[in-house]
Structures are given as structure tokens and as C-alpha cells.
Structure 1
């Protein structure tokens, strides 16, 4: 089948494409587009041999001795990773997740010389608001699977048709099914510009954006760039740190005096993260190519992904230990297996190198989103729970702020109902724009 370039009558073209079916393609064998701006349907298949090889590698893991402490202060605990590995090598079913992915419409388009993959689901409801949602690291499009139906089909989930979204879920460069950059420079400002191009190419003149982790950085950058048509941004990991707080944390100085209770809580969370939780980010920012082991050992990759932040690791460890909450072992393995099968452990890490090469602000610093309406959902076990006082100063056009009762770093993935409700509430007042 030749590539399909979307005409102004996009809905009919997409419907015809879906009815006709498309050729099954491996991620490494995409169609060559005759038109650089073509929207190309994308399907995928992973050979059974790859899954058999994965199980063999997991079963053949050379295990170290157990940690010498009784807690997670030395990293992912041996008992936790061994339980996950046993399940991965025996009973885990990747085909279930693959079927979920295949049930959605996937596309690729070349932007700035790189193939960008995205899921695009249009709502059946009229006047749906276009929304682009960006995942982070160590996430992927797997993070967003649970929110697609609640946001595109709100009436099925107890919400109003007037809250419907058309949703676009792209894979970051070097992640999932997107192309792996062969040159430097794919930092968050460039990704934000690419997302604007993508939304325009899909025919959307107005849209909103959301994301966490790297996706939150992209959201902040969209807000800084303030492109025409961007109506608002939602974040569950916003950049709100005042300059004095950021300076003190980076220099390991005491907290400034006069912090409120919420501000002190945020300081305590951040102080712990800056002292003990930044190892992965430092390595990927400085030496991503050194992470060969992640491409060679599934268990090495799994441990690297699990050891992101204290809150999410504690929740995942409890789930692996038989106390399911938020993310199940299947959820966790879906994401890790996706990284493994797409061979993106190192290419995804390079985004941190590119971003750190040009970044003028830290992860959590105020970025300067001065003119775009902004919404913040503060989850209690995120890396830090952004206080409203900081959010109001960081985002002069703050249109929504809410503290949630439960949730860690992976809000959309772990708490899809809360997250969907927050996104609807955040953008409700912008729909008439």
C-alpha cells in the first residue's frame, strides 16, 4: 500500500484506511514516504523468536548477592526483582498487551528528518477538543493506554459528551516506535516544536497539551514557546521551584526560612530526591552510551526502569509482593517488555544527554510560562507535590490546581480515573476559545 497523505477530508480518509487494512510492518521496516509530510498508517508485529529469546535471557540471569541492608537504600531489592523475573519468564503474556496496542490506530510521519510515531483516536462526539499527551522516561505510550477511552468516550465513564477529546499520543524521539535520532539536538524545545507541527499536520488549529516527567518538560516548553493555537497545558510534574529553593537544593544548603507546611513537604521530598534519587538522570545526561547492559540483559533493564523514584518504586515493590495497587506486575512488565522489544533502552536515554546540553533550567525550576493557561494536578507521592503557592507564582495564568488523595509519578498510568477527571476539569473553561 502506498503512503496515505491526509487531505482536508481527514475523517473519511482515516475511515477508508481502517476499513481496507494496512500492511503489517516491523518497527525497523517502515514505508518510505514520497511526501515528507505524509501521515502513514503503521502496524507492527514482534516475532515469537524475540519473545522466546527474552524468556531465555531472563531465566539465564546471573544474580548478585542480596543487598546488605533491610530496605531499598541500596537500590532495587533482590527479592523484588527475582519475583518479577520469575513471573516474566513463565506466566507473563506480552501478547495481551500487544493486542491492546494493535486495537488502536497508529501512524507515523516524518518531522525534521525523523519518523515520529503516534496513536491518534478521534472521539465520536462533536466538538471534541484536540489533546496531545506526552509520556516520559522510563515510560512510553503504555502509560497512556488507560486514559484514551475515558478521554475520547467520556459518556461511557460517567462524564459529559461536552468533555470529549480527540487524543494524540506520540512516542518521544528514540522511544517505542519513533525513529532513533542519529544526530544530536533532539532536546525538549525541538520536541515541542515537532508536536506543534504534528498537530497542525493533523488539521488541528487549536489544541491543548498534557504530560508528566519528560512530557511535563515538553508541556512547559510548549507554554514558553506559546505557539498559535495552543489553548492550555496540564502537568502532573510542573516546574514551580522558586529560584532560592532551587539554588539551596542544588548546593545542598538548608531550606530557606518561612516555608509553609506544603512548601516544607515539597522541600523534604526534593531534598531526598536530589541527594539519593538522581543517579539515573546523571548517568543518562552524561554517559547514555555506556548503558550497553540495558540492551543485553532484560533483568538489568527492568531494575534500571524500576529504580526511578522512591514513591513509585515502593508502590511497585508492594504490587510485586502481592499487594496490587496502582500498577500491577503486568502493567510494569508491559512497559519494560516494550522497551526490550523495540530496542530503545539506550536511544531513549540519549534524550537526557540532548536535553542537558541545552537546558538552562532544572527539571523542576520555573520555566517562564507567562501567557498560556496552565493546570496543575499535585499527586501526593510524585517526586514532589507542587504547592499551590509555588504554582501560582510559576504560572501567572493558572486555571486549575488540585491536590489528589493518591498517586505517584506515573499518574495517567497508575490513577487513570483521577487523571482523566483532572484533565477534563482543567480544560473545561477553554473549550469555547
Structure 2
């Protein structure tokens, strides 16, 4: 059964959030901690919170989300929320989009229109998609998390069941972050239905990819040398969040579910560290980030979203034969010669702007890359 879904945060919940933001107990700040090297600076967070209180409007963003048809169904006992947006082009290609952490379906608000109705955005109707964008179990509105064991492979099986339930026999899987792991696995579990996989926003160090071989870092070109240096830095200074979420997600959740500023800081740090450092944090981007934060806050999913980190990760160990495209943005550590051992690469683009959250940061580039990748697939 598939039921319609409507986001409607109660006034009581909004009032409670406001009351909590009115009585923040700010921490003492460490000396010389104003450059993000020790985490989110107090001064920076004060500015964001002030914007949250004075300028951000949840109801406006709630309306933006509700402008798209939303539904909820149950797969393996788990509630699964999803957006399903039909293109005005009847024979458009079905596409399933998978977000990651600390993301949500709100990341896709700026790409759904151009993907489903390219003509309305100056594009070619032949590039149209029917879009399905589920909330990962335990994230956003796919709650409550009914049991443990929702790892990447199980999510891929659930997505295959969802697309079958929606009547899509032939489709493309796209994803970043968690989606960059789930989407190839979807191609593995449903190769007769997935005609292409498009990826962006992988975060793993290249040496942890199943395709890595000793010597893969010898004779790297300048671009891959820079990727390796950045990946080494992230591994040395920016992975504590994953260790904590992967080992003690319940303990962490007491702080995040009781303090909206704690939830904001936990998420804002990742948007700061993983986004294109050359692009300032504009009010438009901040609104989008705060919408993500609000979704985690109102759905109380700090623990259940973190639970995925404690599940055994599954990655492809050999190509499935499904054509795969990769859009590499400046903060991504992906190296073609390593990924080629585990993916059937037919498309590879290195972009000069953007970051980990491409759908939010550079929706134009992501949409164009996805269209280009899919054109040869449509004829088959």
C-alpha cells in the first residue's frame, strides 16, 4: 500500500524550537578556536543562530517540499517516505535519487524541476526524467527505524522493491554520499532494471576502495596528488564524527535530540568542511542547510540516521556491467583508475566548482552531467 504524505510540523513543535533557541547556554570558547580547526567556532554559530531566529522561515520551506507529491509506504516493515514527481513528458526516463548524511530529500529541491521538465528551464524535453527521491530509512520522514540492520545493501534491495511497486521497469540510479554506495548496489541487485548508475560525492579515502591496489598512488598526476593530500587531511582531522556515529550513536543522540543548536553545529560543520571552500555561505545556502537541520530536528532522527554508520558497509568488489558515470567535484577524492576496477565506467567528468553537496551547491552542473551521461542510455 502507498499512502499520500504531507509535511505539517505542529505549531507546538515550532514554539518549542523557538523557546530552546531563546535560552541557549553557549559553551566557553577555546583560545584560538575561531578558524574551524577545532570545530565550529562560537562566534560563527552565534551568527547562524541569529539568522535562524530572525530570518529563516520553516513554513516557506515546508511549502516548497509539499509542492512536490509525497508518499509513504512500508518495505520489510520499515516506513519509507519518498517524493514522486512525474515529468510532463510521458516517456521520460525514471530516475531514483538517494541522499546521504547529513542530507535529506530537501537537497534535491533545486534539481527536481530541471530534471522533470527541462523545457521549462531552457533544456531539451528529450532529457526529461520521472523522479523518485526516497528518504533513507531512519532519516527524515522514513521513521521510526523499526530494527537494526539497515545497511547499504538492504537499502538497495528496498529501493528495488520501491521502484517495482511504482511500476518502473527500467530506470537510472543516482546518488551522492550514502547514495554513492547505495546506487551501485542497486545496479547489482536489480541489473535487469537499472540501466545506468550516476555518482557524486564519495568521501572515502581512495585506499579504502575495494578496487585499490598497492602502487595506485605512484605516478599520480597533479590533480590526483591534490585529491590524495586532501583525503589524507580529512582522514587525519575529520573522521571522528563517523567513529562516534558508528560506535555510540545512541549516546550522541541525547545531546543532539535535546539541543537544536547542538544538532545545528553537528551538521553545519560538515557543510562547512565538505562544501566548495571558494563559495561563501550565502543566505540562500544557509536557508537550505537550516531546512536540513530542521528536518533532523522535527523528526528527531539524530540517533536513527547515525545508525547507518554502525552497520557493516558493503561496496562493489567487481563491475556489474551497468554503465556508470561519475561527476567529480573539487572536494571529492575519487580516482578514475581505482574506481574503474569496481565500476563499469562509461562517463567521467572533473568539475572545477562545487563540492560534496552538489545538488545543493551546483545544481546546474549536476543536472547537466546527469543528462549527458543518460543520453546514450535512453536509446537502448
TM-score by length of 1: 0.82
Structure 1 residues 120 and 279, CA, compared in 2 at 3 Å: closer, same or farther? same
1:27 alignment partner in structure 2: none
Moved more, 230-239 or 68-77: 230-239
Structure 1 residues 68 and 314, CA, compared in 2 at 3 Å: closer, same or farther? farther
Q: String of CA shifts for 1:75-122, please: whole Å, max 9, x gaps.
A: 011111110111212221111101101111011111111111100001
Q: Which of the numbers 347, 352, 355 marks the counterpart of 1:408? A: 355
2:13 alignment partner in structure 1: 50
Whether the 8 Å contact between 1:240 and 1:391 is mirrored in structure 2 is: no
Q: String of CA shifts for 1:234-280, please: whole Å, max 9, x gaps.
A: 000358976xx339xx9xx9994322222212211110111111111
| Distance in 1 separating the partners of 2:215 and 2:31 | 30
2:336 alignment partner in structure 1: 388
| Distance in 2 separating the partners of 1:237 and 1:367 | 19
**Where do 5+ consecutive residues of structure 1 fail to align?**
1-37
Q: Which of the numbers 15, 25, 33 marks the counterpart of 1:62? A: 25
| Distance in 2 separating the partners of 1:349 and 1:257 | 35
Q: CA RMSD in A?
A: 2.4
| Distance in 2 separating the partners of 1:76 and 1:380 | 22
2:294 alignment partner in structure 1: 337
Q: Which of the numbers 110, 124, 127 marks the counterpart of 2:74? A: 110
Whether the 8 Å contact between 1:223 and 1:369 is mirrored in structure 2 is: no
| Distance in 2 separating the partners of 1:388 and 1:233 | 15
Query: Does residue 376 of the first structure (1) align with residue 326 of the second (2)?
Result: yes
| Distance in 2 separating the partners of 1:341 and 1:154 | 33
| Distance in 2 separating the partners of 1:345 and 1:239 | 20
Q: Which of the numbers 46, 49, 61 marks the counterpart of 1:85? A: 49
| Distance in 2 separating the partners of 1:378 and 1:146 | 19
1:422 alignment partner in structure 2: 369
1:312 alignment partner in structure 2: 274
Q: Which of the numbers 313, 332, 352 marks the counterpart of 1:359? A: 313
**Where do 5+ consecutive residues of structure 2 fail to align?**
none
Structure 1 residues 79 and 238, CA, compared in 2 at 3 Å: closer, same or farther? closer
| Distance in 2 separating the partners of 1:309 and 1:54 | 22
2:39 alignment partner in structure 1: 75
Following superposition, the deviation at residue 224 of structure 1 comes to 3.3
